[in-house]
């Protein structure tokens, strides 16, 4: 099977700004995920999650989406690390907390503090003095939200079950070298990300309808992007007469205009999604092989009938 063809097409993006309490609500609650901690990917697990790091001085911690934003009240995950790697070469994880603002007890010394909000996160080094006041630590995530969806053709809505998105960091090499941020994102899901440009791969169906787009996420803002696929859904039928009943136990091969096989299946009326273009359908049934050339137009779902006689 050949590699799916790739298209760079239009993206319709709406940037929504929020202030005060509405800013937090706009980004919703994201499902738990495996997080990448900037600069702290190698660490040892804590013995007791949520426990105090060590008895000592109390430090208050808060985080905001932007420099001028209000502190976030929920959805945060805090992690405290010892700055010196252990015998295994990993940074010891001393304590964690979840929710909004947090406080930990520290012995005087240096620590790494990481706070995550969905896939957005920031790390800072904290030095706790032996004497004198200990200031509240405010961390700015510089994070926003991204919501993805797609249409076929001009405005034909694609069922969510047939769509998936992968989000990569943009500008980091060829496809196989780009850092995957989150995979298998469903339509209308809010993904919380650090400010920056992300490379979005949108897949419609499982054959060759793939669109790639770069989208920028702004701090404190929710970006709603609709990606335009140039593809359509086809139902294949081997029939004895036009509009007739589909014949069972038919093997199908779909070829591009260049002769490359892009799909193979068996069934009376298999349904596939194909990128816009010229194709040939080959139907095999009880030793008989027939074929038909057809054209796929963006957003125009249809049946492709191959006549038995």
Q: Say if 21-140 and 232-307 have the same CATH topology.
A: yes
For position 28, what pLDDT does the model report? Answer: 61
CATH superfamily, region 232-307: Immunoglobulins (2.60.40.10)
For position 182, what pLDDT does the model report? Answer: 94
Q: Where are the domains of the chain?
A: 6-18+143-229, 21-140, 232-307
CA distance 297 to 130: 71
* The pLDDT of residue 101 is above 90: yes
Q: pLDDT: is 85 or 37 the higher one?
A: 85
Highest mean pLDDT among 2-6, 17-21, 251-255: 251-255
**132 pLDDT band (50/70/90 cuts)?**
confident
For position 44, what pLDDT does the model report? Answer: 47
CA distance 268 to 240: 13
Range name among 41-55, 72-86, 157-171 with the lowest pLDDT average: 41-55
CATH number for the segment(s) 6-18+143-229? 2.60.40
* The pLDDT of residue 38 is above 70: no
Which of 173, 218, 165 is closest to 193 using CA atoms? 218
CATH number for the segment(s) 21-140? 2.60.40.10
Task: Give the HSE-up count for residue 11: Cα atoms under 13 Å, Cβ half-sphere.
Answer: 21
Q: Tell me: the pLDDT tens digits for 163-206?
A: 999 999 987 655 556 899 999 999 999 999 999 999 999 999 99
Q: Tell me: the pLDDT tens digits for 226-252?
A: 999 999 999 999 999 999 999 999 999
């Amino acid at each position: 099977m050949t590699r799916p063809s790739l298209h760079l097409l239009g993206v319709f993006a709406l940037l929504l700004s929020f202030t005060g309490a509405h800013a937090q609500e706009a980004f919703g609650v994201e499902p738990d995920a495996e997080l990448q901690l900037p600069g702290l990917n190698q660490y040892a697990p804590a013995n007791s999650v949520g426990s105090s790091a060590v008895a000592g001085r109390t430090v208050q911690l808060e985080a905001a989406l932007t420099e001028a934003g209000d502190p976030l009240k929920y959805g945060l995950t805090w992690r405290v690390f010892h700055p010196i790697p252990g015998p295994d070469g990993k940074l010891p994880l001393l304590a964690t907390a979840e929710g909004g603002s947090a406080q930990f007890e520290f012995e005087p010394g240096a620590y790494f503090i990481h706070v995550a909000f969905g896939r957005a996160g920031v790390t800072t080094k904290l030095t706790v003095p032996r004497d004198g006041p200990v200031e509240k630590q405010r961390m700015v995530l510089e994070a926003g939200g991204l919501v993805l969806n797609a249409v076929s053709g001009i405005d034909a809505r694609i069922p969510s079950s047939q769509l998936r998105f992968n989000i990569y960091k943009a500008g980091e090499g060829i496809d196989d070298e780009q850092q995957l941020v989150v995979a298998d994102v469903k339509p209308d899901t809010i993904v919380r990300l650090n400010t920056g440009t992300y490379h979005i791969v949108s897949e419609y169906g499982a054959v060759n309808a793939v669109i790639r787009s770069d989208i920028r996420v702004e701090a404190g803002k929710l970006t709603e992007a609709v990606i335009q696929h140039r593809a359509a859904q086809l139902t294949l039928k081997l029939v004895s007469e036009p509009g007739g009943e589909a014949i069972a136990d038919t093997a199908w091969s779909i070829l591009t205009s260049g002769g490359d096989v892009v799909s193979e299946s068996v069934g009376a009326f298999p349904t596939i999604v194909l990128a816009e273009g010229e194709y040939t359908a080959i139907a095999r049934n009880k030793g008989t092989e027939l074929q038909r050339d057809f054209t796929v137009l963006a957003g125009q779902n249809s049946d492709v009938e191959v006549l038995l006689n």
